[in-house]
C-alpha cells in the first residue's frame, strides 16, 4: 500500500476554484511588484527624482534626466514602474510625467505627515538581513537591533518622524493629565529608547524651559542623536547617553517616555519598573506603541500586516536577543500593555489617545 503521509503531514487532494485562484494570484503579483518597487522608491528618493517633479508641471523623461543628472535610459523604466504603481502620473498624449499633490505629500515632502519613503528604506534594510533571520527561525535565537543593516536605523528615523512631528506636541502630550503645564514651566524628562533622538529633539524644541535626557543601548544611534540635537540648536538642554532601559536610576523625573520601543525589549516589565523608579510621585509615564487590537483577528488588515511583518523581522528577534526574551511583538494590544504597566507598579493606566497607527498610554503612580 502506498504511504500517503509526507514528512510534513498528510496530503489530500482538494479542488481549486479557478476564479478564487485568479484573484489570489492577482494579489500575489501585486505584492511582487510592490516588493521590487520599494527599491525603486528608495532610488527615487536618494537621487532626488521625486523632489525634481514637485509642483505638478509635466516633465519628459529626457528633461527629468537633465534636471537630476541621471540617465534617461534608467529613468524610462523607473518612471513606467512608478506610473504602473500609481506613484506618478503619465500623459500618453504628451509622453510626460507628473505628480499629484497627494503623491508629492507621500513621496517628495519630508515634512509632510504622510511622508512614507522612510518605510521603504526601513524595509530594504530589514530584507538584507533575511538570511540571518532565516537561521533564527530554525534556532529560536535572537537578532539584536544593533546587528541589522544600517538602513533600518535611518529608515526608522524617517518613517516615524512625520507622525511625531504631526502628533507629539499637538495631540499626544496634551492628552496627558497636567503634563504640558509642567513642560512649559520647566520639567525633567527621560526619553527611553530614543534612537536617533527625533522625539527628544521635538520636545526640547517645543518646551525650552525643560531639560531632557535621551537613552538608548545602541551607541551608534546615540552618536546620531547628539548630532541631531546640535543641528536643531537644543544640545544645551539635551544629554544623550548609552544605557539600558532597565537600568534607569531612581530619580524625580516629571515625565518618562518610550516611543515605539517597549515591545522590542527583552524585559519590558523590568523597563516599566525602572521607569516607575525614575519618576517623581506625581510623574507620568507615556508609552507610545503601534496601534493594535487585543486579538489576532482584530489586526488582520493592511496596517496589521505591516506591523506583524515588522514584529517577525525586527521586534521579536530584538527581544529574543536580550535577557528576558518576552517577545511582546508590535501587536501586543491595549489589554496586555495595560496589564504590564499595572503589574510594574503603576496604579492609574489608561489609553490617553490614539492615531491611525499608534496607541498612546498614560501610566501614573
Residue 8 lies in a domain: no
Beta bridge partner(s), residue 189: 212, 255
Residues 238-248: pLDDT tens digits? 999 999 999 89
What CATH number corresponds to the domain at position 42?
A: 1.10.10.10
- Does one domain contain both 201 and 310? yes
2 located within any domain: no
What is the pTM (predicted TM-score) of this model? 0.92
Query: How does pLDDT run across 125-160, given as a tens digit for each residue?
Result: 999 999 999 999 999 999 999 999 999 999 999 999
Same domain membership, residue 189 and residue 65:
no
Total domains present in the chain: 2
Torsion sign, CA atoms 56, 60, 65, 67: negative
Query: pLDDT digits over 321-344, tens only?
Result: 999 999 999 999 999 999 999 999
Report yes or no on 114 lying in a domain.
Answer: no
Same domain, 77 and 153: no
Same-domain check for residues 173 and 301: yes
Same domain, 223 and 269: yes
- Looking at the fold, whether 182 and 313 belong to one and the same domain comes out as yes
Asked whether residue 90 falls in the same domain as residue 163, the answer is no
176 falls within a domain: yes
For 224, the grid coordinates are 546620531
Query: In whole angstroms, how far apart are CA 351 and each of 25, 105, 197, 261, 340?
Result: 40, 30, 24, 17, 13
**Do residue 221 and residue 272 come from a single domain?**
yes
Between CA 323 and CA 320 the distance in angstroms is 8
CATH for 209: 3.40.50.150
Q: Is residue 113 part of a domain?
A: no
One domain for residues 99 and 153: no
pLDDT tens figures, 95-112: 999 999 999 999 999 989
Same domain, 89 and 148: no
Q: Domain of residue 86: give its range.
A: 20-106
pLDDT(6) > 60 = no
Asked if residue 7 is part of any domain, the answer here is no
Q: What is the pLDDT of residue 11?
A: 63
Which of 73, 106, 139 marks a domain boundary? 106
Q: Are residues 148 and 185 in the same domain?
A: yes
CA atoms within 13 A on the CB side of 82: 29
- 165 lies in the same domain as 275: yes
- Has residue 11 been placed in a domain? no
Amino acid at each position: 500500500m502506498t504511504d500517503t503521509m509526507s514528512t510534513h503531514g498528510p496530503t489530500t487532494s482538494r479542488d481549486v476554484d479557478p476564479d478564487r485562484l485568479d484573484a489570489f494570484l492577482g494579489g500575489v503579483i501585486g505584492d511582487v511588484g510592490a516588493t521590487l518597487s520599494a527599491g525603486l522608491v528608495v532610488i527615487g528618493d536618494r537621487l532626488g527624482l521625486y523632489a525634481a517633479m514637485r509642483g505638478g508641471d509635466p516633465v519628459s523623461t529626457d528633461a527629468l534626466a537633465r534636471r537630476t543628472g541621471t540617465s534617461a535610459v534608467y529613468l524610462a523604466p523607473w518612471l513606467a514602474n512608478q506610473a504602473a504603481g500609481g506613484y506618478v502620473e503619465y500623459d500618453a498624449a504628451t509622453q510626460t510625467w507628473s505628480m499629484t499633490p497627494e503623491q508629492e505629500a507621500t513621496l517628495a515632502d519630508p515634512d509632510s505627515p504622510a511622508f512614507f519613503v522612510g518605510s521603504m528604506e526601513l524595509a530594504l534594510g530589514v530584507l538584507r538581513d533575511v538570511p540571518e533571520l532565516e537561521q533564527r527561525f530554525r534556532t529560536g535565537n535572537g537578532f539584536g537591533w544593533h546587528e541589522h543593516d544600517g538602513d533600518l536605523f535611518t529608515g526608522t528615523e524617517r518613517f516615524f518622524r512625520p507622525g511625531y512631528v504631526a502628533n507629539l506636541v499637538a495631540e499626544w502630550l496634551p492628552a496627558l493629565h497636567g503634563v504640558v503645564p509642567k513642560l512649559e514651566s520647566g520639567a525633567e524628562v527621560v526619553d527611553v529608547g530614543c534612537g536617533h533622538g527625533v522625539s527628544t529633539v521635538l520636545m526640547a524644541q517645543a518646551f525650552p524651559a525643560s531639560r531632557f535626557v535621551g537613552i538608548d543601548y545602541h551607541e551608534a544611534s546615540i552618536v546620531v542623536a547628539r548630532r541631531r540635537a546640535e543641528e536643531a540648536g537644543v544640545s544645551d538642554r539635551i544629554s544623550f547617553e548609552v544605557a539600558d532601559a532597565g537600568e534607569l536610576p531612581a530619580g524625580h523625573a516629571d515625565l518618562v517616555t518610550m516611543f515605539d520601543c517597549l515591545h522590542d525589549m527583552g524585559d519590558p516589565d523590568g523597563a516599566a519598573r525602572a521607569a516607575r523608579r525614575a519618576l517623581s510621585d506625581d510623574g507620568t509615564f507615556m508609552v507610545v506603541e503601534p496601534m493594535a487590537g487585543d486579538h489576532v483577528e482584530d489586526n488582520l488588515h493592511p496596517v496589521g500586516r505591516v506591523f506583524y511583518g515588522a514584529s517577525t523581522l525586527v521586534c521579536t528577534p530584538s527581544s529574543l536577543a536580550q535577557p528576558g526574551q518576552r517577545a511582546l511583538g508590535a501587536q501586543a494590544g491595549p489589554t496586555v500593555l495595560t496589564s504590564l504597566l499595572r503589574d510594574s507598579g503603576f496604579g492609574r493606566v489608561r489609553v490617553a489617545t490614539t492615531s491611525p497607527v499608534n496607541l498612546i498610554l498614560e501610566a501614573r503612580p
